[in-house]
Amino acid sequence: MKNYIHILSIALLSTLLISCASMDKDQKPITYPTLDSCTPDLLQSQQSFICLKRVKGPDFIETNIKFSADSFTLNDQAKETLNKLYAYLKLTGDTNFVIKGYAGKIDSKLIKHNDLLTKHDLRLSKDRASSVREYLINKGIKPDGIEIQALGYQDPIAPNDSNANREINQRVEITLKSKLVDQVDNINDRIKHVKISNYTKFFSNIYLLNDNQVDEMAKIYDSREKRPVLGINFKIFANKQYPTREDNKNFSIISEPKPINAYNPDKKVYKIGSAQYNYTYKGITALTITDLKQEASVGDYVIPNDIVFSNPLPAESFKMDSKITANVMQDIMNTGTFSFSYNSILINKGATDGLKLGAEMILYEPESRADGYPVPPKYIGHGFAYRQSDHYALVLIVNSLQEITKNSMATTVL
């Protein structure tokens, strides 16, 4: 029989659901958007963007939607940016904000009167703000707290002295105060870079795989010893012929891959042991088991180590510039609902969200309510990401001030 912990952990993981209950109107899960820093180049961009503006005190979320000249139609890139804003608004509950519409000042050969030009710019800027408002309302944002301001060619980002500059000014702006843990002072002073090699002994035996990595697995269908339960030094046979390469000699023995949830193709596996490449024969590969963390059986899988460990960890943890915010889905190994220091947690952000291995993650309780009054977010610990797939990552908790639960959040930047 398989080790009890192995079976229980895999059974638990196979039932994982997204902890964030927020869905869009198509019943698809909503997650926090990745927010890059507002750089001077980005602020002067002719493309729509949403970014994190760092200032003394609470940061700001800046959204800038661009329009073609004399148009208030949203293009695909503008809609993509508004989808990120919608996710942020939906998850933070921020429903009171101002949409500022602008136009680029131009001279017209048809309209000579300055008052008429001003009225045209004001009407255009109002139409642009209204387009953004209607898009967000159609996505599911309540209209009550949305205010529109038509500002014409006021507050230009760039001088209105060329077509390129006027394109920058053809915009809508929305500024929000960041709600993520802005009440907690000096958290960054508490988080120090750590030497990752000092923590590898705490890493979980769970690995996250993408579809292309799953394709590289092979099933163990027999052994030279003809026993269903396998041991160290057993010669095993896998139903895939791997190419002979110097970097392809070491393999991991893993459990059957299980989906993390129904919305993404990422899979999770449990590492059972290690094996060494011997030879290939008519479409199969022979290997020798060199190490086992628990019982292995015919029906388990093997995968080359260079596929699983293709992205090495940095020597030290580090702070990312981008704000990546995730839900804590569950403790990856323990059967309980609480996690503490040196436990591993699964979060619903990964490589496609811009998350990097070794990135420091701040753990916190999101804003809640008690007796109708708001309870501010609370810092509860920190850790770093040490494994990831496209949409998920494992975070080792370096320090926790209290239990980390599936209601907790993780972010790279306050």
Percent of the chain residues past pLDDT 90, beyond the cut: 59
pLDDT higher than threshold 50 for residue 312: yes
Confidence class of residue 262 from pLDDT cuts 50, 70 and 90?
Answer: confident
Residue 305 near residue 247 (C-beta atoms within 8 A): no
Q: Over range 22-28, report the average pLDDT.
A: 67
Residue with tokens 């030279």: 224
Q: Over range 404-408, report the average pLDDT.
A: 89
Q: Over range 86-107, report the average pLDDT.
A: 86
Q: For 135-152, how does the pLDDT look when each residue is reduced to its tens digit (9 = 90+)?
A: 999 999 999 999 999 998
pLDDT value at position 337?
Answer: 64
Residue 166: φ, ψ to 5°: -65, -30
Residue with tokens 């996250």: 208
pLDDT higher than threshold 60 for residue 1: no
CATH number of 36-177: 3.30.1330.60
pLDDT higher than threshold 70 for residue 333: no
Domain ranges of the chain: 36-177, 187-199+313-411, 205-308
Q: For 116-141, how does the pLDDT look when each residue is reduced to its tens digit (9 = 90+)?
A: 557 888 999 999 999 999 999 999 99
pLDDT value at position 16?
Answer: 35
- Rounded to two decimals, the pTM is 0.79
Give the count of beta carbons closer than 10 Å to the beta carbon of residue 155: 11
Beta strands in 255-371 (DSSP E): 258-259, 267-281, 284-292, 296-297, 301-304, 325-331, 344-347, 360-365, 368-370
Q: For 36-53, how does the pLDDT look when each residue is reduced to its tens digit (9 = 90+)?
A: 989 999 988 999 999 998
pLDDT higher than threshold 80 for residue 26: no
Q: Over range 110-115, report the average pLDDT.
A: 51
**Encoded tokens for 375:** 């309870």
pLDDT higher than threshold 70 for residue 18: no
Domains 36-177 and 187-199+313-411 share a fold: no
Q: Over range 89-106, report the average pLDDT.
A: 87
Task: Report the alpha-carbon distance of residue 334 to residue 331 in Å, rounded.
Answer: 6
Q: For 364-388, how does the pLDDT look when each residue is reduced to its tens digit (9 = 90+)?
A: 988 777 777 767 778 899 999 999 9
**Encoded tokens for 45:** 């961009």
More confident residue, 31 or 107: 31
DSSP string, 175-233: EEE--SSTT--SHHHH----BGGGTGGG--SEEEE-HHHHTT-EEEEEETT--SEE-TT
Percent of the chain residues past pLDDT 70, beyond the cut: 85
Residue 386 near residue 196 (C-beta atoms within 8 A): yes
Taking all residues of the chain, what is their mean pLDDT, rounded to a whole number? 86
* Least reliable range by pLDDT among 8-12, 244-248, 280-284: 8-12
Single-letter code of the amino acid located at 191: I
Confidence class of residue 114 from pLDDT cuts 50, 70 and 90?
Answer: low
pLDDT value at position 377?
Answer: 79
More confident residue, 182 or 256: 256
**Encoded tokens for 192:** 């120090």
pLDDT value at position 117?
Answer: 59
Q: Which CATH class is domain 187-199+313-411?
A: mainly beta
